[in-house]
Structure 1
Amino acid sequence: AAPAEGMRVLTYAMALDKARAWLEIADEAGAEAHSLIPEAGPMARLVERLPSLAAVRAQGPIVVIDLGHARTDVVVVHGGRAIYARALARAGKHLTEAVARQWRLGWPEAEQAKHTDGFVASTAMPATSKAWARVSEVMTAELNPLARELRQTLAACRAKTGAVPAGALLVGGGSRLRGLPTWLGEQLGLPIVTIADGDAALLTGPKLAGQVGVEGGALALGMVIDAEAARPLLDLRQGPLAHEVDLTFLRTKAVALSAAVVAITAAATISAWVHHAALRKAQRVLDERLAIESTEEFGDPKTADEILSSASGQVAGAVSPLPKMTAWDTLLDISNRMPAHDKITLDVDTIDIDPSKILFKGTAMTPDEVDAIEAALKAQVPNEQPCYVEVNRGATQQVGDKRQFEFTIKPACM
């Protein structure tokens, strides 16, 4: 199905009381939490970092299924960004409860039995005995509702975004249940990928790769990768929960900082004084040389201002060597003077411009058009000096169906 029209926005919300409780837990542990990061951002970073997902990433979006203890988080990632997310109430604790009911075990014993003897049979991995088949029946009874909700989630994602996952990444503590990746792949019709040994070595380093359960800590590893960026993809610590930087440590550095400021100011002052003294010395040398040179030239010592003022008075009435109009300005002026194209049909053959004479040759359709061109050249702009003192019209000849003309113009503004 095609995605819905308009802009799609992925949002997360969290109760303030719950957020404050998490921040208090971090404070009690001696950690300063700068951000509250939901699942989508870290999982998007994790998908982009895992080498084992390279082939699936090239085929399309990837759905991350984080099977935890109390809930299952689902995040669809495409192009390095989370485009759809949902939290499901079904998770690992329901499997533990089923084991406890079936074999009448306490919670710790049931949890241990789930991890050591839990098994889910599938077509590709069938049960090898009646005992294993019974274990699989108990597990499957609790996993079927989860598979149904996962299929509904993928259908909702396809309806809202148009994204169809090409594969799934299964993480979380519940992902360690034997046979679960194969069974879940058959239920969803998707290839299921788990974190491989090579992925673990890349994420935690070779020393820790065999010592930690990477699949159970996938969210934490994704948060570390997300924190490497300048800003997390999603951060709930905003508004009343915004992180405030504690600058009390500056008080302990106040004396050192003050001393540094004083030292820098003193160094800048000394440097400025040295440069100023050098400039004053150079000024005195120039004044002495100017006095000697002006005495030889004018008979009396003069300052720079006196020499400049006397020189400007002598040349005030001189004609500037710069032209009032260049050849380009003249060409533009002639073009602007010509009548509109709906009044004349003008073809210019030659415009030869020099300071003493302008030669303008071309053709028009009728003698009246030639007269209009002559009138335009002779027209004077009000309150401005005439730039064409003479406009002489040469002989006009009939060339085909056109009239050939020639004007010789004497410029006064060049």
Structure 2
Amino acid sequence: MLREPSVVAKDVRTNKTLAVGEEARQMLGKTPSNIQAIRPLRDGVIADFEVTEAMLGYFIKKVTRQRSFLSTLFRPKPSVIICVPAEITSVEERAVRDAAKLAGAKSVDIIEEPMAAAIGAGLPIDGPSGNMVVDIGGGTTDVAVISLGGIVVSQSIRVAGNKLDEAIIRHIRRVYNLMIGERTAEEIKIKIGSAYRLEQELAMEIRGRDLINGLPKTVKITSEEVREALSEPVQAIVEAVKSVLEKTPPELAADIIDRGVILTGGGALLRGLDTLLGEVTGIPVIVAEDPMSCVAIGTGQRVGYHGSMNL
């Protein structure tokens, strides 16, 4: 029903919210001094409580407007399920619940992201077999081994899509003395980013501000140097996967060898990441059919057990 990035644009003088979601994302790096485009969620948790509340309120209103008049009349406030990283603290979880309730939710349920991702990817989580999922989102990477409907071993690291973008920004600044924004970095990652050598390497032109003379500048970069820029955060994800495998009980590890590791989340689309993980671990690694939607789909399927509405 709704797919929007977690970005809010607000007027700092009046504290008024001007845009939310994709409309606000288009403003990143382009706003005048009185307008700020903010990402209220950082590293998988709430960084700005008030802005998060406004964002959730906007999303809830946008979704409930699409329901029928009678449904809205008899259920003015929706129940909400929100996904959180596997190792979120109790304080961070309470902040999520409070923000959703203040935004207009009747009740708030919490589900761990790797569990939702596993359900959305179609894994048989209720059986006695072991299933391993690596969910690489925007703020966190969650690695979990799931069996009998629960998480047996997990690890959550604050290295994911945003850290990949930041690594590209740092590389371009260091090598070319060129300042680029978050949107350009994300575009580079999507178009030519990779975690493993490509059969045919790619290249693209990028534009930004020259840090020496302050003038606009265009440079050409290749997929090899982007891969080098991404090596540190990619290695952190690899180490998290290895760490969870080392803690996995032997019977479940045998199941994972047979079934493979499932990659979900937007980060799963990074070229060659599945190949790299497979080479390092010696286990088949499979990218889910629709990795970006797995968490939302899994949450929606889990909702059926609770009778709640998925956000």
TM-score under structure 1 length normalisation: 0.41
Equivalent in 173, 183, 196 of residue 108 of structure 1: 183
Provide the rounded CA distance (Å) in 1 between the counterparts of 2:92 and 2:151. 24
Q: Is the 8 A contact 2:196 2:276 kept in 1?
A: yes
Measured against aligned partners, the alpha-carbon deviations of 1:323-372 in whole angstroms (never above 9, x if no partner) come to xxxxxxxxxxxxxxxxxxxxxxxxxxxxxxxxxxxxxxxxxxxxxxxxxx
Change (3 A) 1:27 1:194: same
Deviation at 1:174, TM superposition (A): 1.0
Find the residue that maps to 2:288 and give its secondary structure. coil
Provide the rounded CA distance (Å) in 1 between the counterparts of 2:87 and 2:268. 26
1:29-44 correspondence to structure 2 within 5 Å: 29-44=103-118
Provide the rounded CA distance (Å) in 1 between the counterparts of 2:279 and 2:267. 17
Equivalent in 64, 74, 93 of residue 162 of structure 2: 93
Measured against aligned partners, the alpha-carbon deviations of 1:179-225 in whole angstroms (never above 9, x if no partner) come to 222222222222122222xxxxxxxxxxxxxxxxx422322221221
How many percent identity over aligned positions? 26
Find the residue that maps to 1:75 and give its secondary structure. strand
Q: Which residue of 2 aligns with 1:27?
A: 101
* 1:190 is the counterpart of 2:280: no
Provide the rounded CA distance (Å) in 2 between the counterparts of 1:126 and 1:92. 24
Provide the rounded CA distance (Å) in 1 between the counterparts of 2:88 and 2:128. 34
Deviation at 1:59, TM superposition (A): 11
* 1:154 is the counterpart of 2:227: no
Provide the rounded CA distance (Å) in 1 between the counterparts of 2:115 and 2:226. 36
Provide the rounded CA distance (Å) in 2 between the counterparts of 1:231 and 1:115. 37
Find the residue that maps to 1:94 and give its secondary structure. helix
Find the residue that maps to 2:109 and give its secondary structure. coil
Find the residue that maps to 1:37 and give its secondary structure. strand
Unaligned runs of 5+ residues in structure 1 are 1-11, 197-213, 233-414
Provide the rounded CA distance (Å) in 1 between the counterparts of 2:90 and 2:154. 21
* 1:223 is the counterpart of 2:299: yes
1:35 partner letter? D
Deviation at 1:37, TM superposition (A): 1.9
Number of aligned residue pairs: give it. Answer: 196
Q: Is the 8 A contact 2:119 2:294 kept in 1?
A: no
Change (3 A) 1:136 1:18: closer
Equivalent in 227, 239, 254 of residue 136 of structure 1: 227
Larger Rg: 1
Q: Is the 8 A contact 1:44 1:82 kept in 2?
A: no
1:10-409 correspondence to structure 2 within 5 Å: 15-47=89-121, 50=122, 61-104=130-173, 105-122=180-197, 125-128=198-201, 131-158=222-249, 163-164=253-254, 165-166=256-257, 167-196=260-289, 214-230=290-306
Provide the rounded CA distance (Å) in 2 between the counterparts of 1:140 and 1:103. 14
Q: Is the 8 A contact 1:121 1:133 kept in 2?
A: no
Provide the rounded CA distance (Å) in 2 between the counterparts of 1:79 and 1:46. 16
Deviation at 1:82, TM superposition (A): 2.8
Provide the rounded CA distance (Å) in 2 between the counterparts of 1:175 and 1:24. 31
Q: Which residue of 2 aligns with 1:346?
A: none
Q: Is the 8 A contact 2:87 2:156 kept in 1?
A: no
Q: Greater relative contact order: 1 or 2 (C-alpha under 8 angstroms, separation 6 or more)?
A: 2
Deviation at 1:129, TM superposition (A): 6.3
Provide the rounded CA distance (Å) in 2 between the counterparts of 1:29 and 1:153. 36
Whichever structure has more helix as a proportion of its residues is 1
Find the residue that maps to 1:138 and give its secondary structure. helix
Change (3 A) 1:44 1:96: closer
Provide the rounded CA distance (Å) in 2 between the counterparts of 1:13 and 1:182. 27
Deviation at 1:17, TM superposition (A): 3.9
Provide the rounded CA distance (Å) in 2 between the counterparts of 1:92 and 1:86. 17
Q: Is the 8 A contact 1:98 1:138 kept in 2?
A: yes
Change (3 A) 1:97 1:79: same
Provide the rounded CA distance (Å) in 2 between the counterparts of 1:13 and 1:191. 26
| C-alpha RMSD of the superposition | 3.3
Provide the rounded CA distance (Å) in 2 between the counterparts of 1:108 and 1:135. 15
TM-score under structure 2 length normalisation: 0.54
Provide the rounded CA distance (Å) in 2 between the counterparts of 1:174 and 1:90. 10
Find the residue that maps to 2:248 and give its secondary structure. helix
Provide the rounded CA distance (Å) in 1 between the counterparts of 2:128 and 2:271. 27
Whichever structure has more strand as a proportion of its residues is 2
